[in-house]
Every structure is written in structure tokens, then in C-alpha cells.
Amino acid sequence: MLIDLITIVVDDYDEAVEFFTGALGFDLVEDSPSLTNDGRPKRWVVVRPPGARTGVLLARADGPRQAAVVGEQVAGRVGFFLRVADFDAARERMTAAGVEFVTPPRSEPYGRVAVFLDIAGNRWDLLGPVEDPPRT
């Protein structure tokens, strides 16, 4: 058993694809035309970090209820976690690509972490390996 996809509600498909593939370096796995339950056009857009099994379905907000949760899917909490092998290189690349970090890097028992915002305003943790303790 595995989690195949999670959904992030966004304002615009193309802007979201650009953010996730450009700024975050995800792969565009699928971008296919689809239809809503009542026959209106939409797209099935999936992005995934290279080598990951779980992907992100980018879903354009459809109506006021969905538009209200863009950027607030988890009520202001960090709801998404991106683990990288080289924290400093990933953070530097993301910052250069315009990603907004809202906390400075810090060390936690589970690794180095800094919070950033996605294209919709959702909070993510960028997670790196646990730092070795300083040698004395």
C-alpha cells in the first residue's frame, strides 16, 4: 500500500506547473485534459519530485468554496514536507528561483528545516539531513 497522490488546490494550472517544475525541480508526470462531473473542461496535472513515488495533483479551484482554500489547505500549518539530500544547495537553488522562505534554517532532531511557501501560499518544510554535532 502507498499514497499515490495528494491534491493541492491552485489558482492556475500553468503557474503551478511552472512553480513546481521550475522553482522546486519536480517532474511533470502528466498533464491531460479531463472533465468535471458536470462535463466542464479541466486538466489532470501531476507533478512529482525526481525519484519519488508520491505525486502532487494540481487542481485548479472550481468555485468559491475551493477558491477559499487556495493557500490555506491546512489552516496555516505546515502541511507538506520536501526532503532533500543537500539542504543548503536546495535552499540556495529555490531562493534563486524566487521561492519565499518564511523561516530561517534551523536544526531539529529530525534534520535541518526551513519553512517556505508554494505558489498558492501553502506552507512546506524543506527538510535536510540531521547535522553532525560540532567536533570539539
- Is 135 contained in some domain? no
CATH number, domain of 57, equals 3.10.180.10
pLDDT value for 39: 87
Strand partners, 34: 42
- Is 132 contained in some domain? no
Is residue 94 packed enough to be buried (19+ CB in 10 Å), middle (13-18) or exposed (0-12)? Answer: buried
- Is 56 contained in some domain? yes
94: helix, strand or coil? helix
Mean pLDDT of the chain: 95
pLDDT at 120 over 70: yes
The domain of 50 spans: 5-127
- Is 136 contained in some domain? no
- Is 134 contained in some domain? no
> Contact at 8 Å (CB) between 61 and 67?
yes
**Joined grid coordinates for residue 75:** 489552516
pLDDT value for 136: 60
Name residue 119's amino acid.
I
Kindly state the average pLDDT of the residues 42-57.
96
For the entire predicted model, the pTM comes to 0.91
> Contact at 8 Å (CB) between 55 and 74?
no
Produce one character per residue of 106-118: b if its CB has 16 or more CB atoms within 10 Å, e if not.
eeeeebbbbbbeb
pLDDT at 22 over 70: yes
Count: domains in the chain:
1
Taking only the tens place, the pLDDT of each residue in 57-116 is: 999 999 999 999 999 999 999 999 999 999 999 999 999 999 999 999 999 999 999 999
pLDDT value for 69: 95
